Structure 1
Amino acid sequence: MGSTQTAPVLVYGAYGHTGRFVVRELLDRGLTPILSGRDPDKLHALAAALPGAAGLEVRAASADEPAALDHALHGAGAVINCAGPFAATAGPVIEAALRARIPYLDVAAEVEAVSDTFTRFGDRAREAGVVVLPAMAFYGGLGDLMATAALGDGAAAEEVHIAYALSSWHPTAGTRGSGQVSRSRRGGRRLVYASGRLGHRDDAAPTGEWSFPAPIGDRAVVGEFTTADSVTIPRHLSAPDIHTFMTIDAVKDVLAPDAAPPAPVDERGRSAQTFLVDVTVRAGGTRRRAVVRGQDIYAVSAPLVVEAAQRILGASVRAAGVVAPGEVFDAHAFLRSLAPHHLSYELGEPRTGAEGAGTSRS
């Protein structure tokens, strides 16, 4: 198998919104993407339109055709799956990666799909010596790395708080489709990580206020806005309660039936959306805060997953099997490597006291 940093990286779902950012990030780093996905016409159109993509190999494959996936992955050093809904694509592409014995990464935000990946493939990936890294994106990987960095050398936290402030949220077609799949699986219920497990709740999500770092300040938030990091964090850290919050305006945006997709505003194709992620971890009588700021949650997923792929291909890993980001990488060093070009990152000093920097009040 191709397992060096010079091996090509197959991007499944390359012509999707996030997939395009991933292809461009690979090219920017001097890596060679293989463009893959279900629609050959869209793949060839991407190769013709994307700067630097001319001459890239195109390998069309449907997720429900194992032989086609095997052909697509042949000779690749790793596969990055950007094609949702991941409830439909993750399993088949992981199966193909295990057959090819190459690392698999994805940008899944579907909580159930990420949980399924750990449950279904943990033992098999470990036995095969293959790294499977789901949710290596804005929702999932980023929060996991931030919580791990905030905890430092510790392995147990009493509480983890993750608060998201988005200036807006114009969903992609993929976000809408994945959201529909997740809502269908939940039967209208909500997922919440509490008392050491994910569980369903039927009541309305709580609302309150979160004190974000300047210049955002106090904002109205929806609580129990469970994201994929509520699956990944407990896989390697003891955290009985993970509290997640999202600014109310962003929730209204993403749920609006007439919401427009993200529109590019710069030469990198990013939208005008800005974000701040505020993570506070309480452990051993102290609290520590990590803060990340950036532009465009879809665009920033590309350097997150490509940096991860590059480190895995370079054998800079701690484990094999289905793993969480903070389990595989030095979280603090990983986040620092993305600053300042892709995001800004701050890690505060541990502080004593009952109250953290951000407090939700229902």
Structure 2
Amino acid sequence: MTEHHHRPDRTRANPVIAVFGGYGHTARFVTAELLERGWTPVLSGRDATKLAAAAAELGVEWKRASVDDPASLDHAIEGAAAVINCAGPFAETVPPLVEAALRAGIHYLDVTGETLVAIDTFDTYRDDPRVKEAGVVVAPVMAFYGALGDLLATAAMGDWPAADEISIAVALDSWHPTRGTLLAGERRAGRRVVFTDRRLQVLAGDEPAPKGTWTFPEPFGVEEVVGEFSTTDVITVSRHLDTARIHTFLNVTPLKDLTAPQTTGPRSADAAGRSDQVFLVEVVVRRGDEERRAVARGRDIYAFTAPIVVEAVERIVADGGVRGGNGGVVTAGEAFDAEDFLRSLPLDELVLGGA
């Protein structure tokens, strides 16, 4: 088992966090995590009926808001220290929510797994002077995909200034996707984002992905994998770690769930609503003949997003910013001490520094 660091009380300065898309599957885990840590979530979204039901179930306040109504967004986040965007399609929700956060002078985080949206967010706001002037943090993809692999790669890289290549291999024993995951896949239409020769490229959907095998630690072992699996880790890692190539792999076992004609979504297996899905992420950083590894194993990729994004918002709000400055557009790996952040997460296993 992983020993987690003691979490200090960071909630006194401003305990209100707005959660947009508050009635969604992942948002319920995020709200529960905020409540457990002593924050005051306020749910928002466009469907008042669903909002009222989710808010009543969790015992929190709610405010109706729509991305096509800026005034409603301003009202929804009024008095909050930060807004966490859990609402897809993120191509439609990210720009209005970031703009609302900038108007309010508060931090913005989201949990998107949509690669093209993540690229647009980083490219649009990375050099936007309003972000620095407001002293706020814009932190896209603070989720299982996008943050966990980035943190593991950053920790594995350690004191190396550069690496020849970084490989991120994910194994899932099953995948009962949410409706949002399926819709995101449809919008991507098979396109894959890859990082080679030190640049991001978007490959057309008709180009077949490479296949092979990967020897994972237990409980998975040798698994067939698909390469160039398009995840936001490619984007986050490439933003701040100096490497020529990033390889991403996913075992083929869960892919049948993504293409099934019908899905019931994640199935609750405990009192917290988590599924029994097991995940394992292994990162290998190579420089010449040297290799460094980092491994994380846990449960339920949707539920696990909650401690990631809430830990991030705690560190941003309570600690007054991120590493290297008080504001900016950041990934998890560049914003925080990667090893310390990883040790704060409820992982079943965490191995750092392995060769």
What TM-score does the superposition give when structure 2 sets the normalisation length? 0.92
- 8 A contact 1:193–1:226 mirrored in 2: no
Q: CA deviation at 1:260?
A: 2.5
Aligned partner of 1:328 among 335, 341, 347 = 335
Distance 2:288 2:110 in 1: 34
Q: 1:216 to 1:176 in 2, by over 3 A?
A: same
Q: CA deviation at 1:300?
A: 0.1
Aligned to 2:47: 39
Aligned partner of 2:201 among 194, 199, 202 = 199
Aligned to 1:355: none
2:91 is the alignment partner of 1:79: no
List aligned pairs for 1:43-82, cutoff 5 A: 43-50=51-58, 54=59, 56-82=60-86
Task: Summarize deviations over 1:154-175 as a string: whole Å, max 9, x none.
Answer: 3322111100100101110111
Task: Summarize deviations over 1:194-253 as a string: whole Å, max 9, x none.
Answer: 111221334210111000012311000001102101111111111221100001011221
Show structure 2 runs of 5+ residues with no match.
Answer: 1-10
- 8 A contact 2:14–2:80 mirrored in 1: no
Aligned to 2:352: 347
- The letter for the 2-side match of 1:313 is V
- The letter for the 1-side match of 2:116 is E
Q: CA deviation at 1:182?
A: 2.1
Distance 1:4 1:85 in 2: 33
Q: Secondary structure of 1:47's match?
A: helix
Aligned to 1:163: 169
Percent pairwise identity: 55
Q: Secondary structure of 1:291's match?
A: strand
Q: CA deviation at 1:88?
A: 0.8
Aligned partner of 1:153 among 147, 153, 159 = 159
Q: CA deviation at 1:325?
A: 0.8
- The letter for the 2-side match of 1:16 is G
List aligned pairs for 1:274-313, cutoff 5 A: 274-283=278-287, 285-313=289-317
Q: 1:7 to 1:245 in 2, by over 3 A?
A: same
- The letter for the 2-side match of 1:192 is V
Show structure 1 runs of 5+ residues with no match.
Answer: 352-362
Distance 1:333 1:283 in 2: 24
- 8 A contact 1:4–1:77 mirrored in 2: no
Aligned to 1:16: 24
Q: 1:134 to 1:343 in 2, by over 3 A?
A: farther
Q: 1:150 to 1:39 in 2, by over 3 A?
A: same
Distance 1:255 1:279 in 2: 26
Q: CA deviation at 1:5?
A: 4.4
The more displaced of 120-129 and 212-221 is 120-129
- 8 A contact 2:150–2:333 mirrored in 1: yes
What TM-score does the superposition give when structure 1 sets the normalisation length? 0.90
Q: 1:157 to 1:4 in 2, by over 3 A?
A: farther
Q: 1:231 to 1:5 in 2, by over 3 A?
A: farther
Q: CA deviation at 1:14?
A: 1.0
Aligned to 1:130: 136
2:339 is the alignment partner of 1:337: no
Aligned to 2:148: 142
Length, aligned pairs only: 338
- 8 A contact 1:13–1:82 mirrored in 2: yes
Aligned partner of 1:253 among 248, 253, 257 = 257
- Superposed CA RMSD in Å reads 1.5
